[in-house]
Amino acid sequence: MAQSLLVLHGPNLNLLGHREPDTYGHTTLEEIDAMLAELVAVRGAKLATFPSNHEGALVDRGQAARGDGTDFIVVNPAAFTHTSVALRDALAAVALPFVEVHLSNVHRREEFRHRSYLADLAVGVVCGLGVAGYRSAVSFALDYC
């Protein structure tokens, strides 16, 4: 069976490449997804991506991963990183390995961004590497599965 990866993108990441390039870079979310799709295809694996601005939609998609053959989740929960017990509970219930990704180095930013509700459940956390962080997380996932 081919490995199957799910990438979840949290709120406002749909603005990537269009606003605040100094913080988040010039690459759009569509370009990130295309880059990851290529990386995954080369390894003969499968990729599903799910962007949403809505906490419940991310919870629903995370829950669905349990029964749809997903082997590994890469998630940038964006602002929900710092607020969402619901997303934490969903990922804990799903019990699939996941990596948390942030484009920016959240530890160099405001204090409220230093706390993650997901990080202690994650296999690992990547932050501050920009788009390369997504690539690293997906490469890691492919090796892990």
Residues of this chain that interact with ligand CA2 (CB under 6 A) are: 12-13, 15-16, 19-20, 24, 76, 78-79, 81, 102-104, 106, 113
- Catalytic annotation, pick one of 18, 26, 102, 114: 102
Cα 23 from Cα 143, distance rounded (Å): 30
Cβ-based neighbours of 16, under 8 Å, separated by 6 or more: 24, 25, 27, 28, 29, 32, 103
- C-beta atoms surrounding 24 within 10 Å: 19
**102 among known catalytic residues:** yes
Tell me whether residue 18 or residue 66 sits nearer to ligand CA2 (CB atom).
18
Minimum separation from the CB atom of position 92 to ligand CA2 (A): 20
Minimum separation from the CB atom of position 18 to ligand CA2 (A): 7
Cα distances (angstroms) measured from residue 81 to each of 19, 28, 31, 126? 20, 20, 23, 13
**24 among known catalytic residues:** yes
Minimum separation from the CB atom of position 141 to ligand CA2 (A): 17
What positions carry a catalytic annotation?
24, 102
